[in-house]
Amino acid sequence: SENSSDNNTKTTPETQQSASTNENTDNAPSSNSKILVAYFSCTGNTENAAQKIATATGGDLYAITPAEPYTADDLRYNDDTTRATKEQHDTSIRPALAGTVDNFQQYDVIFVGYPIWWDQAPRVINTFLESYDFSGKKVIPFCTSGGSTITNSANQLKSTYSNMNWLDGRLIGRSTSQDEIAAWIDSLNIK
Ligand SMILES: Cc1cc2nc3c(=O)[nH]c(=O)nc-3n(C[C@H](O)[C@H](O)[C@H](O)COP(=O)(O)O)c2cc1C
Protein backbone atom coordinates (compact mmCIF):
# COMPACT_ATOMS: atom_id res chain seq x y z
CA SER A 1 0.00 0.00 0.00
CA GLU A 2 1.24 3.48 -0.81
CA ASN A 3 2.80 5.59 1.87
CA SER A 4 0.48 8.50 2.61
CA SER A 5 3.19 10.58 4.23
CA ASP A 6 5.35 10.47 1.14
CA ASN A 7 8.18 12.90 1.70
CA ASN A 8 9.04 13.01 -1.99
CA THR A 9 5.99 14.95 -2.99
CA LYS A 10 6.74 17.35 -5.78
CA THR A 11 5.00 20.23 -4.02
CA THR A 12 7.39 20.66 -1.12
CA PRO A 13 9.21 23.99 -1.42
CA GLU A 14 12.74 22.58 -1.57
CA THR A 15 11.92 20.25 -4.44
CA GLN A 16 9.53 22.49 -6.34
CA GLN A 17 10.79 23.36 -9.78
CA SER A 18 9.49 25.58 -12.51
CA ALA A 19 6.87 23.96 -14.72
CA SER A 20 9.23 23.87 -17.64
CA THR A 21 12.07 22.02 -15.90
CA ASN A 22 9.72 19.72 -14.02
CA GLU A 23 7.92 18.58 -17.15
CA ASN A 24 7.99 14.81 -17.34
CA THR A 25 7.76 12.93 -20.58
CA ASP A 26 7.51 9.19 -20.97
CA ASN A 27 11.12 8.37 -21.56
CA ALA A 28 12.95 11.27 -19.99
CA PRO A 29 13.85 10.37 -16.43
CA SER A 30 12.74 13.32 -14.32
CA SER A 31 12.65 12.51 -10.70
CA ASN A 32 12.70 14.08 -7.29
CA SER A 33 13.47 10.69 -5.77
CA LYS A 34 16.96 9.30 -5.71
CA ILE A 35 16.77 5.78 -7.13
CA LEU A 36 19.16 2.85 -6.84
CA VAL A 37 18.86 -0.19 -9.11
CA ALA A 38 20.75 -2.94 -7.27
CA TYR A 39 20.97 -6.35 -8.88
CA PHE A 40 22.65 -9.71 -8.62
CA SER A 41 23.34 -11.50 -11.89
CA CYS A 42 25.50 -14.48 -12.78
CA THR A 43 24.80 -14.93 -16.47
CA GLY A 44 23.73 -11.44 -17.51
CA ASN A 45 19.94 -11.71 -17.69
CA THR A 46 19.22 -9.76 -14.52
CA GLU A 47 21.91 -7.24 -15.37
CA ASN A 48 20.14 -6.61 -18.66
CA ALA A 49 16.82 -6.13 -16.85
CA ALA A 50 18.49 -3.76 -14.37
CA GLN A 51 19.84 -1.66 -17.22
CA LYS A 52 16.33 -1.28 -18.63
CA ILE A 53 15.04 -0.13 -15.23
CA ALA A 54 17.94 2.31 -14.85
CA THR A 55 17.13 3.73 -18.28
CA ALA A 56 13.45 4.14 -17.36
CA THR A 57 14.12 5.72 -13.97
CA GLY A 58 17.45 7.51 -14.33
CA GLY A 59 18.53 5.52 -11.27
CA ASP A 60 22.07 4.48 -10.36
CA LEU A 61 23.07 0.89 -11.14
CA TYR A 62 24.78 -1.24 -8.52
CA ALA A 63 25.96 -4.83 -8.99
CA ILE A 64 25.52 -6.91 -5.83
CA THR A 65 28.75 -8.90 -5.93
CA PRO A 66 29.48 -12.00 -3.86
CA ALA A 67 32.92 -12.11 -2.25
CA GLU A 68 33.29 -15.53 -3.81
CA PRO A 69 31.94 -15.43 -7.38
CA TYR A 70 29.71 -18.26 -8.59
CA THR A 71 31.37 -20.54 -11.11
CA ALA A 72 29.44 -22.46 -13.77
CA ASP A 73 29.83 -25.53 -11.57
CA ASP A 74 28.36 -23.68 -8.58
CA LEU A 75 25.26 -22.95 -10.67
CA ARG A 76 24.47 -26.43 -11.99
CA TYR A 77 21.02 -27.12 -10.86
CA ASN A 78 20.17 -30.70 -11.36
CA ASP A 79 22.65 -31.59 -8.69
CA ASP A 80 21.99 -31.31 -4.96
CA THR A 81 25.67 -30.94 -4.17
CA THR A 82 26.35 -27.68 -6.04
CA ARG A 83 26.88 -24.45 -4.16
CA ALA A 84 23.78 -22.56 -5.37
CA THR A 85 21.49 -25.49 -4.66
CA LYS A 86 22.92 -26.11 -1.20
CA GLU A 87 22.55 -22.42 -0.35
CA GLN A 88 18.95 -22.33 -1.49
CA HIS A 89 18.15 -25.38 0.63
CA ASP A 90 19.32 -23.58 3.77
CA THR A 91 17.47 -20.33 4.44
CA SER A 92 20.04 -19.28 7.05
CA ILE A 93 23.04 -19.08 4.71
CA ARG A 94 24.34 -15.56 4.02
CA PRO A 95 27.15 -15.53 1.43
CA ALA A 96 29.55 -12.63 2.03
CA LEU A 97 29.48 -9.67 -0.35
CA ALA A 98 32.32 -7.72 -1.90
CA GLY A 99 32.07 -3.93 -1.92
CA THR A 100 29.42 -1.55 -0.62
CA VAL A 101 26.93 0.92 -2.03
CA ASP A 102 28.33 4.42 -1.96
CA ASN A 103 26.30 6.73 0.29
CA PHE A 104 23.35 4.33 0.58
CA GLN A 105 21.37 6.69 2.77
CA GLN A 106 20.91 9.16 -0.10
CA TYR A 107 18.48 6.80 -1.87
CA ASP A 108 14.69 7.01 -1.49
CA VAL A 109 13.85 4.05 -3.73
CA ILE A 110 15.78 0.80 -4.07
CA PHE A 111 15.07 -1.73 -6.82
CA VAL A 112 16.46 -5.16 -5.90
CA GLY A 113 16.93 -7.57 -8.80
CA TYR A 114 17.83 -11.26 -8.84
CA PRO A 115 17.61 -14.48 -10.85
CA ILE A 116 15.07 -16.94 -9.50
CA TRP A 117 16.89 -19.84 -7.89
CA TRP A 118 14.62 -22.68 -6.87
CA ASP A 119 11.66 -20.32 -6.87
CA GLN A 120 13.42 -18.03 -4.39
CA ALA A 121 15.76 -15.07 -4.33
CA PRO A 122 19.41 -16.14 -4.02
CA ARG A 123 20.82 -15.91 -0.49
CA VAL A 124 23.15 -13.06 -1.48
CA ILE A 125 19.98 -10.97 -1.72
CA ASN A 126 19.34 -11.69 1.97
CA THR A 127 22.91 -10.64 2.74
CA PHE A 128 22.35 -7.41 0.80
CA LEU A 129 19.02 -6.63 2.50
CA GLU A 130 20.60 -7.21 5.91
CA SER A 131 23.64 -5.03 5.15
CA TYR A 132 21.92 -1.63 4.97
CA ASP A 133 19.27 0.40 6.75
CA PHE A 134 16.18 0.37 4.52
CA SER A 135 13.95 2.35 6.87
CA GLY A 136 12.06 5.12 5.09
CA LYS A 137 12.91 3.66 1.68
CA LYS A 138 10.65 2.08 -0.90
CA VAL A 139 11.91 -1.33 -1.98
CA ILE A 140 10.90 -2.94 -5.28
CA PRO A 141 11.88 -6.49 -6.22
CA PHE A 142 12.40 -7.58 -9.82
CA CYS A 143 13.65 -10.84 -11.25
CA THR A 144 14.47 -12.91 -14.28
CA SER A 145 13.87 -16.65 -14.52
CA GLY A 146 13.58 -19.64 -16.78
CA GLY A 147 9.80 -19.57 -16.35
CA SER A 148 8.94 -19.12 -12.68
CA THR A 149 6.98 -16.02 -11.69
CA ILE A 150 8.20 -13.54 -9.09
CA THR A 151 5.32 -14.32 -6.71
CA ASN A 152 6.87 -16.80 -4.28
CA SER A 153 10.25 -15.12 -4.03
CA ALA A 154 8.71 -11.67 -3.51
CA ASN A 155 6.31 -13.00 -0.88
CA GLN A 156 9.19 -14.66 0.92
CA LEU A 157 11.20 -11.43 0.94
CA LYS A 158 8.18 -9.43 2.13
CA SER A 159 7.55 -11.80 5.01
CA THR A 160 11.22 -12.11 5.99
CA TYR A 161 11.70 -8.33 5.90
CA SER A 162 8.20 -7.29 6.91
CA ASN A 163 9.37 -3.97 8.34
CA MET A 164 10.47 -2.75 4.91
CA ASN A 165 8.20 -0.77 2.62
CA TRP A 166 7.80 -3.21 -0.30
CA LEU A 167 6.11 -2.15 -3.53
CA ASP A 168 4.85 -4.57 -6.18
CA GLY A 169 7.65 -6.12 -8.15
CA ARG A 170 7.71 -7.86 -11.47
CA LEU A 171 9.43 -10.42 -13.60
CA ILE A 172 11.33 -8.95 -16.51
CA GLY A 173 11.59 -11.28 -19.46
CA ARG A 174 13.85 -11.04 -22.45
CA SER A 175 10.89 -9.75 -24.43
CA THR A 176 9.73 -7.19 -21.87
CA SER A 177 9.95 -3.91 -23.76
CA GLN A 178 11.29 -0.60 -22.54
CA ASP A 179 7.74 0.79 -22.88
CA GLU A 180 6.29 -1.93 -20.65
CA ILE A 181 8.95 -1.19 -18.06
CA ALA A 182 8.24 2.55 -18.25
CA ALA A 183 4.51 1.86 -17.73
CA TRP A 184 5.25 -0.33 -14.71
CA ILE A 185 7.54 2.36 -13.23
CA ASP A 186 4.80 4.98 -13.75
CA SER A 187 2.31 2.76 -11.92
CA LEU A 188 4.60 2.62 -8.89
CA ASN A 189 4.40 6.38 -8.30
CA ILE A 190 7.96 6.64 -7.09
CA LYS A 191 9.32 9.62 -8.99
C1 LIG B 1 20.75 -22.64 -9.17
C2 LIG B 1 19.70 -22.16 -10.14
C3 LIG B 1 18.37 -22.38 -9.86
C4 LIG B 1 17.38 -21.93 -10.73
N5 LIG B 1 16.06 -22.13 -10.40
C6 LIG B 1 15.10 -21.67 -11.23
C7 LIG B 1 13.72 -21.82 -10.90
O8 LIG B 1 13.35 -22.34 -9.84
N9 LIG B 1 12.80 -21.35 -11.77
C10 LIG B 1 13.14 -20.74 -12.96
O11 LIG B 1 12.25 -20.34 -13.70
N12 LIG B 1 14.44 -20.56 -13.29
C13 LIG B 1 15.42 -21.00 -12.46
N14 LIG B 1 16.74 -20.80 -12.79
C15 LIG B 1 17.06 -20.06 -14.04
C16 LIG B 1 17.43 -18.60 -13.75
O17 LIG B 1 16.44 -17.97 -12.93
C18 LIG B 1 17.52 -17.77 -15.03
O19 LIG B 1 18.44 -18.38 -15.92
C20 LIG B 1 17.95 -16.33 -14.75
O21 LIG B 1 17.51 -15.47 -15.79
C22 LIG B 1 19.47 -16.16 -14.59
O23 LIG B 1 19.74 -14.80 -14.33
P24 LIG B 1 21.21 -14.17 -14.48
O25 LIG B 1 21.61 -14.33 -15.94
O26 LIG B 1 21.03 -12.74 -14.11
O27 LIG B 1 22.12 -14.90 -13.55
C28 LIG B 1 17.74 -21.26 -11.93
C29 LIG B 1 19.10 -21.03 -12.21
C30 LIG B 1 20.07 -21.48 -11.32
C31 LIG B 1 21.50 -21.22 -11.65
The Cα–Cα gap between 104 and 156 comes to: 24
pTM: 0.86
Whether 31 is covered by a domain: the verdict is no
Q: 164 vs 79, which has greater pLDDT?
A: 164
Distance (angstroms) between ligand 1 centre and the Cα of 115 equals 5
Return left, alpha or beta for 6; rule: phi > 0 is left, psi -120 to 50 is alpha, else beta: beta
What pLDDT, in 10s, does the model give residues 120-167? Answer: 999 999 999 999 999 999 999 999 999 999 999 999 999 999 999 999
Instruction: Answer whether residue 4 is part of any domain.
Output: no
Span of 19-23, 60-64, 86-90, 134-138 with lowest mean pLDDT:
19-23
Q: Per the domain annotation, does 72 fall within a domain? A: yes
d(Cα 24, Cα 117) in Å, to the nearest integer? 37
Q: What residues have CB less than 8 Å from 182, skipping those under 6 apart?
A: 26, 27, 56
β-partners of residue 165 are 138
- Name the closest-CA residue to atom 16, ligand 1: 145
Asked if the structure places residue 113 within a domain, the reply is yes
What pLDDT was estimated at residue 116? 98
pLDDT (0 to 100) of residue 96: 98
What is the CA(39)–ligand 1 centre distance, in A?
A: 14
What range defines the domain where residue 171 resides?
37-188
* CATH number of the domain within which 107 lies: 3.40.50.360
**If you measure from the C-alpha of residue 145 to the centroid of ligand 1, how many angstroms do you get, rounded to a whole number?**
5
Residue 30 lies inside a defined structural domain of this protein: no
Q: Which of 116, 150, 175 is the best mutation target for the ligand 1 pocket, counting ligand atoms within 8 Å of the beta carbon and taking the most? A: 116
Give the ligand 1 atom nearest the CA of 39.
26
In a domain, 78, yes or no: yes
The answer to whether 45 and 144 have CB atoms below 8 angstroms apart is: yes
Q: Is 51 in the pocket of ligand 1 (CB under 6 A)?
A: no
What is the number of the ligand 1 atom nearest to the C-alpha of 40?
26
Domain count, the chain: 1
- In-domain check, residue 103: yes
pLDDT in tens, 4-55: 444 444 344 443 443 334 344 444 455 689 999 999 999 999 999 999 999 9
Give the distance (Å) from ligand 1 centre to CA of residue 23. 39
Has the ipTM of the complex gone over 0.90?
yes
156 inside domain: yes
Would you say the CB of residue 118 lies under 6 angstroms from ligand 1? yes
Q: For residue 76, how far is the Cα from the chain centroid? A: 24
